[in-house]
Amino acid sequence: MSEIRDTQTDDAPASTAKTQQGRDVATDGLIDAQGEDVVGRSVTIGKPAAELFAYFRNFANLPTFMENVVRIDVLDNQRSHWVVKAPGDKLVEWDARITEERDGELIAWTSEEGADVANSGRIEFTEAGARGTVVTATIAYDPPGGAIGKLIAKMFQREPAIQARRDLRRFKQLMETGEVATASRNKREFEERG
Amino acid sequence: MRALTWHGKRDVRVDTVDDPEIRNPRDAIIKITSTAICGSDLHLYDGYIPTMKAGDILGHEFMGEVVEVGSKSTLRKGQRVVVPFTIACGSCYHCGKHQYSACDNGLPADNQDIAQELYGQPMSGLFGYSHMTGGYAGGQAEYVRVPFSDVGPIVIPDGIEDDKVLFLSDILPTGWQAAEFAQIEPGDTIAVWGCGPVGLFAVQSAFLMGAERVIAIDHFPHRLELAKKFGAETINFKESAVYEALMQMTGGIGPDACIDSVGLEAHGFFVDNVLDQIKKSTFLGTDRIHANRQAILACRKGGRISMPAVYGGFVDKWPLGAFMEKGLTLKTGQTHVQHYLPGLLNAIVEGKIDTTFLISHRLPLEQAPEGYKMFHDKQNEVTKVVLKPGLAIAAE
């Protein structure tokens, strides 16, 4: 599970701290931490950790539920190239490198030099008995254009904090039901909704 | 295809829109044969429900014929089905507990944010009921796309006409669940606020579950008349003081359980209601809960409140003190339709439950806007409007 802050008196995840200092503990847990803003999200999925990990670890699968990810090219076992939608019909790209991996439990990554959006993160798979597996994503990133860039991204609903929650939910839908829920009536409507 | 679309407060139109297509493997496309206007559609009509967009197709009570299936659907072309208004996946934790309206996966991820903010956690998807509940196109149309068609729709045996089974989609299971939530014991007296379709089905269900007396409360004489036909005693709140009447009718005890099937647009000229209404119309945003307050005050000590009525936001002056001091229990929620379908279909086939008495008007889809206006303006005579897309075709 998430890191616990040294000074804290409760058991809440570090990424939910009301102070920056408290939240820093969550990023300290990331090797080669990159980025200022931190996002922590959890979802419980009714499937075994091994099955979820296996699907996620094949990064080419991620665009099936990560809405803003246009494409991921797997470069080698540790490195991959990401192409992601940004506000204003722009694309941002970066190479990501795995910094830590524990089979069935955890994947941590960081972006390499020259990333359009410097980011690093960790996805953890924790067995939760009859309920399945708790999947927790912690992401640190530097919003392009700082605070204003973040605001713009939020307006376009392309901000990582919003996306992380939605992506985890789509991951759950896909794993539990075999499909990603959509209200679109037909293909044209689906594309308009993006 | 033709479909009834929402354009604003009291503005619904029949438009030509794109046909639905199979989008996911578990989908099916249904050709609508019957679809009803629900009392809760009037909340949309009156503009009480946020997150509506112009052009949204309404309707969550519908049935029809399967015309197309996805690769993972278990339905076959040509089957007649009734479709639950709740869109539930059948595979998540909550569906596993038969809490279908709390399904984790029925709402598209992008639509879950609003409900998460407002309610803490998002609920299942609903057909034709704003974007907060998924933005799914409804069934007041010629065709509809039905997600998770392998777990939702129930196949209707040949020889049973639409009018007998259409209400399995929402109001019959909702009335039944309301009575079940009242935890009726033999000999109980149950009071039901609101003799709309849900209230009337709750009356019927309460008797089937062993209630000795049911007292129905409304102000439309025709609706009270229907409740009387099922054996209920009645109180017309325009003519009699409800709390006083209930206390006298129960020997000073109060009803053992109270069912609020009124909801956020309660009628009646009571001081608290008028205040609620002023706030609502000035967007100070509280639901009108007069019936609910009355139910809590009248209910016997240690009794139960069942609340099938739809509420959307916040309330004022809810008698929390009375609720606590009297040790009441409250059970509520959107209906877990899928859970009740097999049993209720059986009861209909065996003739134990008849729902056709409710239908006062049958109209072609093209006349849906008139149907809304009628249902809205003449609640005494118009108890239920059923739209038949086939009627229009026959007339041409």
ipTM surpasses cut 0.90: no
Considering CB atoms only, which of B90, B107, B145 is closest to A185?
A: B145
CA of B339 vs chain A CAs: smallest distance (Å): 19
| The pLDDT of residue B173 | 97
* Lateral strand order in the sheet of B213-218: B233-236, B213-218, B189-193, B257-260, B304-307, B329-332
> Which residues of chain B neighbour A180 with C-beta distances below 8 Å?
24, 108-109
Pairing between strand A119-127 and A133-141? antiparallel
How many angstroms away from the CA of A76 is the closest CA of chain B?
A: 31
Which residue, among B136, B113, B124, has the nearest Cα to A163 in the 3D structure?
B113
Helix pair B197-208, B171-181: axis angle to 10 deg: 50
Q: In this predicted model, what pLDDT tens digit does every residue of A86-119 receive, in sequence order?
A: 888 889 999 999 999 999 999 999 999 999 888 8
The pLDDT of residue B283 is 45
CA angle B298, B201, B385 (to 5 degrees): 120
Q: Give the pair of three-digit tokens for residue A149.
A: 């860039």
Correct CATH for B172-332 of 3.40.50.720, 2.60.120.10, 2.40.10.10, 3.30.420.40: 3.40.50.720
Q: Where are the domains of chain B?
A: 2-170+335-395, 172-332
pLDDT in tens, A122-160: 999 999 999 999 999 988 887 777 777 777 777 666 777
Do A129 and A44 meet the contact criterion of CB atoms below 8 Å apart? no
A residues 42-101 lying closer than 8 A (beta carbon) to B: 44, 46, 67
Amino acid at B124: S
The series of mean pLDDT values per 10 residues for chain B, 396 residues long, is 96 97 97 95 88 95 98 98 97 97 96 86 94 95 98 96 97 97 97 95 97 96 96 95 96 97 62 53 57 95 94 83 97 96 97 94 96 94 94 55
**Which CATH homologous superfamily contains domain B2-170+335-395?**
Medium-chain alcohol dehydrogenases, catalytic domain (3.90.180.10)
Q: Give contacts of A157 with chain B, Cβ < 8 Å.
A: 110
The structural domains of chain A, with segments of one domain joined by +, span 14-193
| B313 or A70: which leads in pLDDT | A70
pLDDT in tens, A21-42: 777 776 665 545 566 666 778 9
Percent of chain A with pLDDT over 90: 52
- Kindly state the tokens that stand for A133: 């597996």
Asked if residue B368 lies in contact with residue B2, where contact means CB atoms within 8 angstroms, the answer is: no
CA dihedral (B18, B24, A184, B313) positive or negative: positive
Q: CB under 8 Å to A121, separation ≥6 — which residues?
A: A30, A108, A109, A137, A138, A139, A140, A141
From B72, B112, B148, residue closest to A169, measured CB to CB: B112
* Phi, psi (deg, nearest 5) at residue B275: -60, -45
The separation between CA A171 and the C-alpha centre of its own chain, rounded to angstroms, equals: 11
Per-residue pLDDT at B212: 98
Question: How far apart (Å, rounded) are the C-alpha atoms in residues A89 and A49?
Answer: 36
Of B105, B135, B137, the CB nearest to A176: B105
SS (H, E, C) chain A: CCCCCCCCCCCCCHHHCCCHHHHHHHHHCCCCCCCCEEEEEEEEECCCHHHHHHHHHCHHHHHHCCCCEEEEEECCCCEEEEEEEECCCEEEEEEEEEEEEECCCEEEEEECCCCCCCEEEEEEEEECHHHCEEEEEEEEECCCCHHHHHHHHHHCCCCHHHHHHHHHHHHHHHHHHCCCCCCCCCHHHHHHHC
Bigger pLDDT: A68 vs B205: B205
Superfamily of domain A14-193: START domain (3.30.530.20)
A185, A189, A190, A192: which to substitute to probe chain B, counting the most B Cβ within 10 Å? A185
Nearest Cβ partner for A187 among B21, B89, B106: B21
Instruction: Give A163 to chain B, closest Cα distance, Å.
Output: 9
Could you tell me which residues come within 8 angstroms of residue B300 by beta carbon, excluding any fewer than 6 positions away?
B250, B253, B254, B255, B256, B326
Q: In what helix (H) or strand (E) does residue B324 lie, and over which residues does it extend? A: helix B320-325
In this complex, is the C-beta atom of B106 within 8 Å of any C-beta atom belonging to chain A?
A: yes
**Residue B285: predicted pLDDT:** 47
Give B135's contacts in chain A (Cβ within 8 Å).
Answer: 183
Query: How many angstroms separate the most distant Cα atoms in chain A?
Result: 53
Which letter does DSSP use for residue B20 in this model? P
Give the burial string for A76-96 (b: 16+ CB within 10 Å, else e): eeeebebbbbbbeeeebbbbb
Phi–psi pair at A36, nearest 5 degrees:
-100, -45
Q: Which pairing describes strands B213-218 and B189-193: parallel, antiparallel, or unpaired?
A: parallel
Q: How far is CA B35 from CA B40, B42, B309, in A?
A: 14, 15, 21
Q: Is B208 exposed, middle or buried (0-12, 13-18, 19+ CB in 10 A)?
A: middle
